[in-house]
């Protein structure tokens, strides 16, 4: 093994045989380190060094003189379980390629299903002749927001996050993807005055909020050591404080019949349904599976709000109470 992490002779063999010896050696190293997809990651790192979207081992490109050292450095960082997305600076999400960076939550493939439900509902609203109004809370890199904005071009999408770095990254991802009707804002989902211009106007509210309980530590080093705590831990003994805030925000922002879609942990499915039902604000509350068949998202509709008999008289009786701040 040479000092740069490439097996002895691999560099010379690579010049003669092409890229394969490097990829094979890197795959073995990543496999030994417990990386879940060692071959895929080795190929992705090679492509990144070569400035390509992908590489072909049958007809590989000519390798630059510094390839071995640059590739070995990235392989070593991946071996130490630095996320692949941080090393290459991007990730795929549905039909998008999104920029990612340390300090902002890396979107996962299972969240593509959450985005898909939001996209389908926004498309349904658009097909009915309305301009869909969509809110993505706890937006992170903007994966869901940008997906909706690009797949349903008439949708007006507002993305919100407590992290200013995440808001800036969402804005950049939206601009690169050509999401003309996407606005990224800094805000706290627990703020009862969040998005003051949108109460009762939102057709779809979607969120992948932090939901890990305080005593539950992620197993994967890529998540535990590199995703920000702000995007992981949901608060409260059950990790559902932030998700409950999402439910309250949905009750305030959604139109009657509007759809709420929220990701959660597999073990939180029943608790998330109970929390939604307990608000009295939602109907058709159900759990939907992710790509792997696990119950990972809450789906519910904002209940209608028919005006009760005598409500007008009640309003008149309450009008003098200037301090009353009813929703």
Per-residue pLDDT reduced to its tens digit, 194-244: 999 999 999 999 999 999 998 888 889 999 989 999 999 899 999 999 999
In the chain, pLDDT over 70 holds for what percent of residues? 88
Same domain, 234 and 98: yes
Cβ atoms of 203 and 130 within 8 Å: the answer is yes
The answer to whether residue 52 sits within a structural domain is yes
The 8-class DSSP code of residue 138 comes to: S
Q: Does position 43 have pLDDT exceeding 70, yes or no?
A: yes
Q: Does position 4 have pLDDT exceeding 90, yes or no?
A: no
Q: pTM (2 decimals)? A: 0.85
**Domains contained in the chain, number:** 2
Q: Does position 79 have pLDDT exceeding 70, yes or no?
A: yes
Same domain, 214 and 97: yes
Q: Which residues contact 254 (CB under 8 A, 6 or more apart)?
A: 200, 202, 203, 205, 260, 302
**What pLDDT shows up at residue 215?**
85
The answer to whether residue 278 sits within a structural domain is yes
Mean pLDDT of the chain: 88
Q: Does position 310 have pLDDT exceeding 70, yes or no?
A: no
Q: What angle do CA 94, 299, 238 make, to 5 degrees?
A: 100
Cβ atoms of 1 and 47 within 8 Å: the answer is no
How far is residue 37's CA from residue 88's CA, in Å, rounded to a whole number?
15
Which of these, 208, 187, 210, 190, lies nearest to 139 by C-alpha position? 208
**Domain of residue 98, residue span:** 92-302
Same domain, 75 and 96: no
The answer to whether residue 233 sits within a structural domain is yes
Same domain, 115 and 64: no
How far is residue 137's CA from residue 228's CA, in Å, rounded to a whole number?
16
Same domain, 113 and 161: yes
The answer to whether residue 171 sits within a structural domain is yes
Token pair 């093994």: residue: 1
**What pLDDT shows up at residue 57?**
87
The 8-class DSSP code of residue 190 comes to: T
Same domain, 30 and 66: yes
């Amino acid at each position: 093994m040479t000092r740069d992490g490439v097996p002895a002779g691999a560099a010379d063999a690579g010049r003669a045989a092409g890229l394969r010896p490097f990829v094979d050696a890197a795959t073995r190293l990543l496999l030994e380190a417990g990386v879940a997809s060692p071959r895929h990651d080795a190929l992705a790192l090679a492509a990144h060094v070569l400035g390509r979207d992908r590489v072909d081992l049958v007809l590989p490109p000519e390798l630059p003189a510094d390839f071995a050292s640059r590739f070995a450095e990235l392989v070593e960082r991946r071996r130490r379980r630095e996320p692949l997305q941080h090393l290459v600076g991007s990730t795929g999400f549905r039909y998008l390629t999104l920029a990612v960076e340390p300090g902002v939550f890396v979107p996962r493939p299972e969240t593509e299903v959450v985005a898909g439900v939001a996209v389908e509902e926004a498309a349904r609203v658009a097909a009915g002749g309305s301009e869909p109004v969509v809110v993505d809370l706890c937006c992170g890199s903007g994966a869901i927001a940008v997906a909706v904005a690009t797949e349903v071009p008439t949708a007006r999408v507002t993305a919100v996050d407590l992290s200013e770095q995440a808001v800036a990254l969402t804005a950049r991802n939206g601009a690169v993807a050509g999401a003309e009707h996407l606005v990224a804002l800094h805000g706290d989902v627990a703020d009862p005055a969040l998005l003051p211009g949108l109460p009762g106007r939102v057709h779809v509210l979607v969120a992948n909020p932090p939901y890990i309980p305080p005593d539950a530590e992620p197993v994967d080093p890529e998540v535990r050591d590199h995703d920000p705590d702000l995007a992981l831990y949901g608060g409260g003994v059950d990790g559902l404080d932030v998700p409950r805030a999402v439910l309250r925000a949905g009750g305030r922002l959604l139109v009657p019949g509007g759809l709420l879609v929220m990701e959660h942990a597999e073990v939180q499915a029943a608790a998330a349904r109970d929390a939604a039902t307990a608000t009295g604000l939602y109907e058709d509350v159900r759990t939907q599976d992710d790509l792997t068949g696990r119950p990972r998202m809450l789906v519910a509709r904002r209940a209608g709000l028919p005006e009760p008999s005598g409500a007008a008289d009640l309003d008149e009786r309450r009008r003098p109470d200037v301090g009353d701040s009813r929703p």
